[in-house]
Structure 1
Amino acid sequence: MPETDTGAPAAEIPETVATYLRLRGLEPSSASWRRKKRRRRDDDENQPFTAGRDPKGVADVLADLTRESGWDRELAREDVVRAWAEVAGEGTAQHTRPVAFTEGALTVQADSTAWAKQLQLMRAHILTEIVRRFPEAGVETIRFVGPDVPSWKWGPRTIPGRGPRDTYG
């Protein structure tokens, strides 16, 4: 059996590796081959069929991305807006819409002050449903407001003060 310069038998090195090393001008030695072989075994991230190498679905990849990016709360809040008809009910959703999230408070605007008052009576039920379905949203309270009222405080010729009170006779 031929020996290398280190005295180790060359039969321990695969013939393909020994040929490659000879062509590169290197003398094959079994000690260097064992070091390379050991190094390759330690590198598990490139080995097929090992833990963590299974392909992931798109949903899993997106869930990991949103969690790592810190988008869970914002996406849960968007889910509340998207599913408002299911949470509040179809009839209620026709007359209301969520307009803002601020510091744990969801603001919902109603078509009329009557709807806003009715929803205040249903506040506990709606809040319980939101917390049950979307706990990541962080909704702690709900505020119901009526429609926007016209303001006299706009335009290029606005004057400070109480405004045109005497025009109502």
Structure 2
Amino acid sequence: MADDEVLPADGAAEVPAAAPDEPHRDDGLDLARTVARATVGTTGPARRRRGKDATTRDAAAAAQARSGRRRTSGAHPDDRDPQLLGSSLSRLVADHGWELDLRIRSLFARWEELVGAEVAEHSTPESFAEGRLVVRAHSTAWATQLRLLAPTLLRRLAEEVGDGVVTVIEVLGPHAPGWTRGRLSTRDSRGPRDTYG
């Protein structure tokens, strides 16, 4: 910043008057420099550094400048005081829109706590997309049992991770080996039925 520029309380640079003996340049650089000097601290990274609520802070700073008092930390909390880690993380999660992702990851991590030890022993959550939770059962009997328990599980999940987050529970049976290849495969047959659960 040049010595002849003065920064007022609102942070914008005042543009000095051009000297009358300076020649006018036709290439536009003088206009560009004038505009650049006028916008110092009002756009781009400088404005982002000042934060979202810069206008509120600027207004408070201007009011304090008018009153002649210097801002000092007192008995009451302000934005310069150390912040609690939990509140800082909550603000970070909210700013980035990670609430839903954290709820879903919490559902996967706390599956046994949410559905009970016996159900969790025989089932595993596999994926979540657009309100649909896919659960893999370890046997066909448990897949049937989970399908019957689905409304109860939906209510329990709504209490824990939020209403409307999980709208459908899709229960899949166990992974079974395929019989389309190998020494024991047969052509034109129906193959084995449910012999693995």
TM range (shorter): 0.5 to 0.7
Residue segments in structure 2 that go unaligned for 5+ positions in a row: 1-60, 192-197
5+ residue gaps, structure 1: 1-37, 156-162
CA distance in 2, matches of 1:119, 1:47: 61
Q: Are the counterparts in 1 of residues 123 and 136 from structure 2 also a CA contact under 8 Å?
A: yes
Change (3 A) 1:100 1:39: closer
- Residue identity matched to 1:149: A
Root mean square deviation of aligned Cα: 3.0
Shift of 1:102: 1.4
CA distance in 2, matches of 1:154, 1:68: 52
Question: What's the CA shift string for 1:118-152, capped at 9, x where partnerless?
Answer: 01111111110101111178111111111122235
User: Who wins on radius of gyration, i.e. which is larger?
Assistant: 1
Normalising by structure 2, report the TM-score. Answer: 0.54
Which amino acid is 2:104 matched to? Answer: R
Residue of structure 1 equivalent to 2:139 = 112
Residue 165 of structure 1 corresponds to which residue in structure 2? 187
Q: Percent identity?
A: 31
Match for 2:153 among 126, 130, 134?
126
1:41 corresponds to 2:68: no
**1:101 aligned counterpart, secondary structure:** strand
TM-superposed CA distance for 1:71, in Å, is 1.0
- Could you tell which deviates more after superposition, 143-152 or 99-108? 143-152
Aligned length: 123
TM-score by length of 1: 0.62
- C-alpha displacement at 1:42, in angstroms? 4.1
**CA distance in structure 2 between the aligned counterparts of 1:52 and 1:147, rounded to whole angstroms:** 54
Larger RCO: 1 or 2 (CA < 8 Å, sep 6+): 1
Matches within 5 A, 1:1-169: 41-42=64-65, 47-49=72-74, 51-135=78-162, 138-152=165-179, 164-165=186-187
Amino acid of the structure 1 residue aligned with 2:170? R
**1 CA distance for matches of 2:63 and 2:146?**
66
Runs of 4+ residues over 6 Å off in structure 1: none
- Residue 56 of structure 1 and its aligned partner are, at CA, apart by 1.7
For the residue of structure 2 that corresponds to 1:142, the secondary structure is strand
Give 1:55 shift: 2.5
Question: Retained in 1: the 8 A contact 2:115–2:153?
Answer: yes
Contact preservation (8 Å) 1:76, 1:136:
no
